[in-house]
Amino acid sequence: MTAPSHALTNTQIEQFQRDGYLILRGLADATTIAEMRRVTLTDLAGEVAPLEYEADLQYPGAPSSLHSEGGRTVRRLKQAMTRGPVFMEWLTSPSVLQPLQQLLGPKVVCPLAHHNCIMTKEPAFSSDTGWHQDIRYWSFQRPELINVWIALGEERPDNGGLWVIPGSHRQRFTAAMFDEQTFFREDLPETQAFAATKVPVILKPGDVLLFHCLTLHAATRNHTDETKLSVVFTFRPGDNPPIAGSRSASMPELVLTP
């Protein structure tokens, strides 16, 4: 029996190249999502390290310190790859690799120094994340990487789901358009014009968002009474290695294809 194809259509490839993001509906099956959720909720309850608390970053809405009310609200569980075999099994499946090879080339590599985490957004004490490009954290030969964001539950604007600015990955912004933390400023007429074109990323469990590392994205805090959970990994083409001595080169990488 011929294995099912998970190839992107030409229209989907063109959409990603134009907009800097693409939603693939139901890419992760219900069994995979259930196991990812089980691992996540278990590790959240036990505060299993390594992890990051909302208080660590001090974004708007976060607790003032680890010792204040809500101070131990988790923002992310780091090193998702080590938390259960379900993550590796899914990442190495044709449903993930085939689209990535179409967008990045035949050799796909997963840097373990970046993302490789489970993002959590709690009903109370979660925070707002301003507009930014993920490349601000990273050091590679070229700004050519793709994030794969897996929804473990519903994602909407009211529970802190992502917003993106279509086509922002193709723009050339000046340094003056970002603040000292490399967040996109919204107090300038030219940046306000870009922000006005934002669109929400609305996902169901198992839906996957692919987005370019230069695509501007943001999220508000969670205004509902249910925790939002997502898993995110980053991928690069084989000919775009991290810069030696940088944080991006500080951990091993997972070569997913020959």
**pLDDT score for 1:** 47
241 located within any domain: yes
What is the rounded distance in angstroms from the CA atom of residue 205 to the CA atom of residue 34?
Answer: 9
239 located within any domain: yes
Q: At what angle do helices 10-19 and 94-104 cross, to 10 degrees?
A: 60
1 located within any domain: no
What is the tally of structural domains in the chain? 1
Q: What number of other Cβ atoms are within 10 A of residue 27's Cβ?
A: 21
Q: What percent of the chain has pLDDT over 90?
A: 95
119 located within any domain: yes
**59-105 confidence digits (pLDDT tens):** 999 999 999 999 999 999 999 999 999 999 999 999 999 999 999 99
Task: Check whether 258 has a pLDDT greater than 80.
Answer: no
Task: Print the domain residue range for 138.
Answer: 28-255
- pLDDT tier, 3 (very low <50, low <70, confident <90, very high otherwise): low
**135-188 confidence digits (pLDDT tens):** 998 999 999 999 999 999 999 999 999 999 999 999 999 999 999 999 999 899
11 located within any domain: no
What is the rounded distance in angstroms from the CA atom of residue 236 to the CA atom of residue 143?
Answer: 9
**Mean of the per-residue pLDDT values for the chain?**
95
Task: Check whether 4 has a pLDDT greater than 70.
Answer: no
Tell me, yes or no, if the pTM score tops 0.85: yes
Residue with tokens 């107090």: 187
Task: Check whether 118 has a pLDDT greater than 50.
Answer: yes
206 located within any domain: yes
Residue with tokens 């700004």: 143
**And the tokens for 116?**
């490789």
- pLDDT tier, 257 (very low <50, low <70, confident <90, very high otherwise): confident
Peptide bond into 50 cis (omega under 30): yes
Q: What number of other Cβ atoms are within 10 A of residue 14's Cβ?
A: 12
89 located within any domain: yes
169 located within any domain: yes
Angstrom distances, CA of residue 159 to CA of 4, 82, 128? 34, 27, 11
Q: What is the CATH number of the domain that holds 159?
A: 2.60.120.620
Q: What number of other Cβ atoms are within 10 A of residue 41's Cβ?
A: 14
What is the rounded distance in angstroms from the CA atom of residue 119 to the CA atom of residue 222?
Answer: 12
